[in-house]
Amino acid sequence: MKGITILGATGSIGVSTLNVIARHPDRYRVVALTANNNVGDLFQQCQQFHPDYAVMADEQSAQDLAGRLKTKASHVQVLSGIEGLEAVSRLSEADYVMAAIVGAAGLLPALSAVRAGKRLLLANKEALVVSGQLFMDEAEQHGAEILPIDSEHNAIFQCLPADYHKGLAGVGVRRILLTASGGPFRNMPAAELVRVTPEQACAHPNWSMGQKISVDSATMMNKGLEVIEACWLFHTRPDKIQVVLHPQSIIHSMVEYTDGSVLAQMGNPDMRTPIAHALAWPERIESGVSSLDLFAVSRLDFEAPDCQRFPCLSLAYQAIERGGSAPAILNAANEIAVAAFLGRRVNFIAIPKIVESTLAAIPIADSQNLGELLEIDAEARRVAEQQISTLV
């Protein structure tokens, strides 16, 4: 039986992970669950899955949770803060760690799991965006196993040969075709984007996701971050990754080989598929996802992305091409810009403007030191806030 820590248990990925785990009580045991400040949902999860540890982001939420658990699940040890997150990420009882905390906040606990040599089920793409080289070097040094959970990266992983670490050209791969739904505004006239509301941006046509990733999907920054992540995960260059709009979200990504073959991973848009794949790999287990009805799908459409409509995608390509700290700056500025949009401080089309101006304002460093990267992240957030102040 494998012990599992779930970082971000009350979010959509965490909930889906617990759904899969509940189907296989003979294979998996929940060791630790963490949440930001959603005490109610984590309390319910602790009652159902009986973890040894629970972690809340702040001390007040932790005290609230501990109080509720006294009479219902007193065995659960409640921790708080980044120290608690890092502690449960390296527990000896945890064989696997699901990294599903949204944003750069998930970097340190994911890195802690890597340094402990865990199988890391990586749903937090920002960890690689902010510290790609450092993260991958640490994984190799400590023998950690990184399995991607993003539906696109998991699809690519399934379509690549086992020895892809040798380099894609060396194993006959010509390019990666990274699919994207195009989000809710793929066909909206560009002039109307300025009036987009947070509610509209969070209403993804195919996937059920949190607010931040939903907005990123609407701006296509999510796809840009995925390009950066794919470069690190699959040891390739950005020019070997082509983004393809596929509005049905049935093909989750493809790999083209030098002989002209294109392998695609298909399935219903349900995150339980990549979660179950990574949990059981190299085996296969039941996920609860229904069979794909090709007759109901009936057609598959593909388009090239419009980078004028979605400048965030171009900004992400530029950042990974520049290298160094550019992706970290891009990510930090985007997190601040998206939060400002969700808080109705700026409009939708201001998001790429804030990111671009922040990238222009901060010199690109070539550091792979974690402390320096975190300082750069903090500086980018400060500069992004300054950019927002000029718009409001």
Tell me the average pLDDT across 250-277.
Answer: 97
pLDDT at 105: 85
Q: How many domains does the chain have?
A: 3
In which order are the strands placed within the sheet that holds 77-80? 77-80, 53-56, 28-35, 2-7, 96-99, 119-122, 145-148
Among candidate residues 252, 268, 284, the one where a domain is terminated: 268
**Within a domain: residue 316?**
no
Verify that 208 and 108 share a domain, yes or no: no
Query: Does any domain span residue 296?
Result: no
- Asked if residue 89 and residue 16 are part of one domain, the reply reads yes
Owning domain of residue 75: 2-149
- 72 in the same domain as 35: yes
Residues 160, 139 within the same domain = no
- Answer yes or no: is 276 within a domain: no
| pLDDT at residue number 251 | 98
Mean pLDDT lowest among 120-129, 137-146, 224-233, 247-256: 120-129
Assess if residue 300 is contained within a domain.
no
Whole-structure pTM value: 0.93
Please report which confidence band the pLDDT of residue 207 belongs to, taking 50, 70 and 90 as the band edges.
Answer: low
Give the neighbor-by-neighbor strand order of the sheet with 241-245: 241-245, 173-180, 251-257, 262-266
Contact 391, 350 (CB under 8 A): yes
Tell the residue number behind the tokens 């979200």, with chain if given: 249
**Per-residue pLDDT reduced to its tens digit, 311-345:** 999 999 999 999 999 999 999 999 999 999 999 99
- If asked whether residues 250 and 167 sit together in one domain, one would say yes
DSSP string, 106-169: GHHHHHHHHHTT-EEEE--THHHHHHHHHHHHHHHHHT-EEEE-SHHHHHHHHHS-TTGGG-TG
Residue 297, pLDDT > 80, answer yes
Indicate if the alpha-carbon torsion angle 113, 223, 320, 257 is positive or negative: positive
pLDDT value at residue 392: 63
Residue 43 lies in a domain: yes
Residues 31 and 126 in one domain: yes
In this structure, are residues 110 and 7 in contact, taking their beta carbons and an 8 Å threshold? yes
Same domain, 63 and 168: no
Whether 290 maps to a domain, the answer reads no
pLDDT tens digits, 334-384:
999 999 999 999 999 999 999 999 999 999 998 778 899 999 999 999 999
Same structural domain for residues 172 and 264?
A: yes
132, 149, 166 - which closes a domain? 149
Instruction: Decide which of 268, 288, 308 is a domain's last residue.
Output: 268
Q: Is residue 17 part of a domain?
A: yes
Q: Are residues 97 and 167 in the same domain?
A: no
Q: What is the pLDDT of residues 73-101, one digit of tens each?
A: 789 999 999 999 999 999 999 999 999 99
Whole-number pLDDT of residue 388: 95
Exposure of 247 in the CB half-sphere (CA atoms within 13 A): 10
To 5 degrees, how large is the angle CA 250–CA 254–CA 257?
155
Residue 298: inside a domain: no
Tell me: do 135 and 37 sit in the same domain.
yes
**Cβ-based burial of 361 (10 A; exposed 0-12, middle 13-18, buried ≥19):** middle
Do 209 and 252 fall into the same domain?
yes
* CATH number of the structural domain spanning residue 69: 3.40.50.720
Whether residue 225 is found in the same domain as residue 363: no
Could you report the per-residue pLDDT of 98-111, keeping only the tens digit for each?
A: 999 988 789 999 99
